[in-house]
Amino acid sequence: MNTRHFRTLLGGIYLATVTSGWAQRPAAAPSRSDTLMRPAMVARGDSIFHGMLGGGSCSGCHGVGGTGVPGLTPDMTSGKWLNGDGSFAFIVEIIERGVPHSKQTTGMMPPKGGAPLEHADVRAVAAYVYSLTRPKARSGRP
């Protein structure tokens, strides 16, 4: 194979790689809309939290208003967080992985509360929980 054919072959492989998406691309930065909590997202999270959607029933352990059950689960409306900083990202993480050993109560929480929640549902529940101590979050402004 001569040099010209080799270059043509390499160029074809490069072109096929770039246009097919096979080449590894850097991860896209999250869009601004992905980080905002919209009122509809909070409302969906409220419905999941209260067992009306997604197979979730967070209120069974965390109380109807998120105030917890003394000795079993903490009050999520107090603004005090036992396992992290209370940020939206933290709440998403804690829902995803659960709490195997509580720091101040006898309860534990399985990942996703034991419900078959999709990631979008986890984010919606997190938006609702986040909004419990941040009234502005209900209107879409964290």
Q: What is the tens place of the pLDDT at every residue in 57-94?
A: 899 989 989 998 888 888 889 888 877 888 999 999 99
100 CB burial (10 A radius; 0-12, 13-18, 19+): exposed
pLDDT digits (tens, 9 = 90+) for 119-136: 999 999 999 999 998 866
Q: What is the pTM of this model?
A: 0.69
Q: Where are the chain's structural domains?
A: 36-138
The pLDDT tens digits for 51-67 are: 998 888 899 989 989 99
CATH superfamily of 36-138: Cytochrome c-like domain (1.10.760.10)
Non-local (6+) Cβ contacts of 33 within 8 A are none
Tell me how far CA of residue 115 lies from CA of 50, 58, 65, 81, in angstroms. 12, 9, 19, 22
